[in-house]
């Protein structure tokens, strides 16, 4: 990333969304002297993200390097768990409960609870960032004159103060960022905010993407060319955190099953991802269930994305599997018996509209089978903040810098989405290439994520600088 400018820049940025990508961008931009206003719907950061307590991240070395290059390496290492053995996963057939092998990586395995990483980003927000909590953004626009010209040089957020505090100020932030406290009122307050740039980091249900209606790519099938939106992938999952002592009680030494070892368990249309967290005291379980009977752009999910079910439904989803993984699923508590419908957003053909752009899941939400959703958002934040922090970037030419960001980042985001989808199909014996050959799948996983993990984000910045030079911007 370019060296931060020594004095505040004459550039203002508004970020919609206080998740991983939005916070990472706010930290990087704020440290570079850019004035940032961050808008988040939750009334406090602890409430950001549905079901956040269930979500743990296996971060690849590319992400760890990016955080280090952002100056957050020590902070990340203070909350992350590292397995120096290099074991990535054991690979098992869930029907026969047979281990096909183990994949070791050339890097230590790094995992972190999503909430802990968000806390690191919260605490790292510098003084040049102002946080607006409890606000609901409902639209955005580029400010133009009657002839459609960018006369004002601004983009505008329209929002409602949806959850003002009943009395007194909002809880203080742990970092240096300022906190805008909305006035307590008897009803919602509608207002707007202008900035030189608006970044939509507001997730898979992005209001900004919905407002801008960028077209879906050709890879979206019959939806290609139509306004890009989220679509159901045909897969739902169960997430659970189980005490390790209960999981260990089910260990089978004869068959080599040890709950403390990270593993993937495969079966037709089903698979489990299992790994220890919280210093080995808790077992994280994610059980995936897929229906691929319809084409990708015809799969639908009715009702809320999170549905409560009973334990019999979970067991029925894994009928025909070996008794051990079914006993493990039987440890899921009643409160965790929830189907999570997994949706995606194939990266729109363009992310940018004037001074407004997209970042992270708002641009390329994917299935989690590469474990790279958060990684892509952090990479996006690194590149976008690096470009906006350049001394040559200003309010007059910023749209060209935003276009370079998109040109550099969109291909990698889209490739990761398509690749993650194929990975899930492979894990569930739904490909012609690998079929139900667990040994072949284990062999494929020796190198399958190298193109993600071996990547250095400075390569993107190098490409960006070359584009900027070619377009005579630097």
Task: With a cut of 50, say whether residue 2 has pLDDT above it.
Answer: no
Confidence grade of residue 51 (pLDDT, cut at 50, 70, 90): very low
Q: What is the pLDDT of residues 260-290, one digit of tens each?
A: 999 999 999 999 999 888 778 889 999 999 9
- The lowest-confidence range among 78-87, 206-215, 331-340 is 78-87
Q: Which residues pair with 157 in a beta bridge?
A: 140, 193
Task: For residues 289 and 470, give the distance between their C-alpha atoms in angstroms, rounded to a whole number.
Answer: 48
- The lowest-confidence range among 70-84, 322-336, 415-429 is 70-84
User: What is the per-residue pLDDT for 111?
Assistant: 78
User: What is the per-residue pLDDT for 5?
Assistant: 44
The model carries a pTM of: 0.92
Cα three-residue angle 301-303-309, rounded to 5 degrees? 95
Task: For residues 107 and 77, give the distance between their C-alpha atoms in angstroms, rounded to a whole number.
Answer: 15
Class of the domain covering 12-81+114-228+345-470: alpha beta
User: What is the per-residue pLDDT for 183?
Assistant: 60
User: What is the per-residue pLDDT for 52?
Assistant: 45
From the number of C-beta atoms within 10 Å of its C-beta (0-12, 13-18, 19+), residue 447 rates as exposed
Beta strands in 268-384 (DSSP E): 270-277, 282-290, 306-308, 338-344, 356-358
- Asked if 113 and 56 touch (Cβ cutoff 8 Å), the reply is yes
- Asked if 283 and 259 touch (Cβ cutoff 8 Å), the reply is yes
Task: With a cut of 70, say whether residue 171 has pLDDT above it.
Answer: no
**C-alpha distances out from residue 432 to 219, 291, 296, 420, 422, Å:** 20, 17, 17, 16, 11
Q: What is the mean pLDDT of residues 431-454?
A: 93
- The lowest-confidence range among 92-101, 157-166, 211-220, 291-300 is 157-166
User: What is the per-residue pLDDT for 43?
Assistant: 82
Show me where the domains of the chain are located: 12-81+114-228+345-470, 231-344
User: What is the per-residue pLDDT for 50?
Assistant: 45
CA 369 to chain centre: 12
Closest CA to 125 of 174, 70, 66: 174
Task: With a cut of 80, say whether residue 310 has pLDDT above it.
Answer: yes
Task: With a cut of 70, say whether residue 187 has pLDDT above it.
Answer: no
Confidence grade of residue 320 (pLDDT, cut at 50, 70, 90): very high
**C-alpha distances out from residue 282 to 234, 245, 271, Å:** 29, 8, 20
Share of the chain above pLDDT 90, in %: 70
Task: For residues 220 and 414, give the distance between their C-alpha atoms in angstroms, rounded to a whole number.
Answer: 11
The CATH number of the structural domain formed by 231-344 is 3.30.9.30
> Which has more pLDDT, 125 or 189?
125
Please give the DSSP secondary-structure letter assigned to residue 193: E
Q: What is the pLDDT of residues 86-96, one digit of tens each?
A: 788 899 999 98
Task: With a cut of 80, say whether residue 448 has pLDDT above it.
Answer: yes
If you average pLDDT over every residue of the chain, what do you get? 89
Task: For residues 313 and 339, give the distance between their C-alpha atoms in angstroms, rounded to a whole number.
Answer: 10
What are φ and ψ of residue 218, in 5° steps? -60, -25
What are φ and ψ of residue 385, in 5° steps? -65, -35
- Asked if 177 and 190 touch (Cβ cutoff 8 Å), the reply is no
């Amino acid at each position: 990333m370019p060296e931060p400018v020594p004095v505040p820049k004459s550039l203002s940025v508004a970020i919609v969304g206080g998740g991983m990508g939005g916070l990472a961008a706010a930290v990087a931009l704020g440290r570079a002297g850019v004035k940032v206003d961050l808008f988040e719907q939750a009334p406090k950061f602890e409430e950001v993200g549905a079901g956040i307590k269930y979500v743990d991240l296996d971060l690849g070395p590319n992400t760890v390097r990016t955080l280090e290059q952002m100056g957050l390496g020590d902070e990340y290492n203070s909350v992350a768990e590292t397995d120096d053995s290099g074991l990535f996963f054991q690979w098992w057939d869930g029907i026969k409960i047979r281990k096909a092998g183990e994949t070791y990586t050339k890097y230590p395995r790094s995992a972190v609870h999503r909430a802990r990483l968000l806390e690191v980003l919260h605490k790292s927000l510098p003084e040049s960032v102002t946080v607006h909590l409890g606000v609901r953004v409902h639209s955005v626009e580029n400010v133009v004159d009657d002839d459609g010209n960018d006369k004002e040089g601004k983009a505008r957020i329209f929002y409602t103060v949806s959850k003002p505090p009943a009395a007194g100020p909002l809880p203080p932030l742990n970092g240096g960022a300022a906190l805008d406290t909305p006035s307590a009122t008897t009803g919602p307050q509608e207002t707007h905010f202008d900035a030189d740039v608006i970044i939509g980091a507001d997730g898979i249900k992005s209001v900004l993407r919905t407002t801008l209606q960028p077209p879906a790519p050709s890879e979206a099938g019959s939806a290609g060319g139509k306004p890009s939106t989220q679509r159901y992938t045909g897969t739902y999952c169960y997430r659970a955190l189980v005490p390790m002592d209960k999981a260990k009680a089910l260990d089978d030494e004869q068959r080599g099953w040890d709950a403390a070892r990270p593993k993937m368990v495969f079966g037709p249309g089903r698979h489990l991802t299992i790994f220890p967290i919280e210093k080995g005291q808790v077992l994280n379980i994610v059980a995936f269930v897929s229906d691929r009977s319809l084409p990708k752009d015809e799969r639908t999910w009715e009702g809320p994305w999170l549905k409560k079910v009973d334990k019999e439904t979970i067991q029925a989803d894994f009928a025909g599997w070996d008794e051990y993984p079914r006993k493990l699923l039987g440890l899921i508590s009643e409160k965790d018996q929830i189907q999570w419908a997994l949706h995606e957003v194939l990266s729109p053909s363009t992310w940018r509209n004037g001074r407004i752009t997209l970042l992270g899941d708002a641009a390329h939400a994917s299935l989690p089978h590469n474990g790279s959703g958060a990684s892509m958002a952090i990479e996006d934040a690194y590149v976008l903040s690096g470009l906006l922090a350049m001394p040559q970037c200003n309010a007059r030419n910023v749209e060209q810098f935003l276009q370079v960001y998109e040109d550099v980042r969109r291909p990698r985001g889209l490739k990761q989405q398509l690749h993650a989808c194929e990975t899930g199909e492979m894990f569930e014996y739904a490909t012609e290439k690998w079929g139900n050959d667990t040994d072949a799948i284990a062999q494929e996983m020796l190198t399958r994520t190298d193109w993600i993990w071996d990547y250095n984000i400075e390569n993107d910045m190098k490409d960006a600088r070359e584009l900027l030079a070619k377009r005579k911007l630097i």
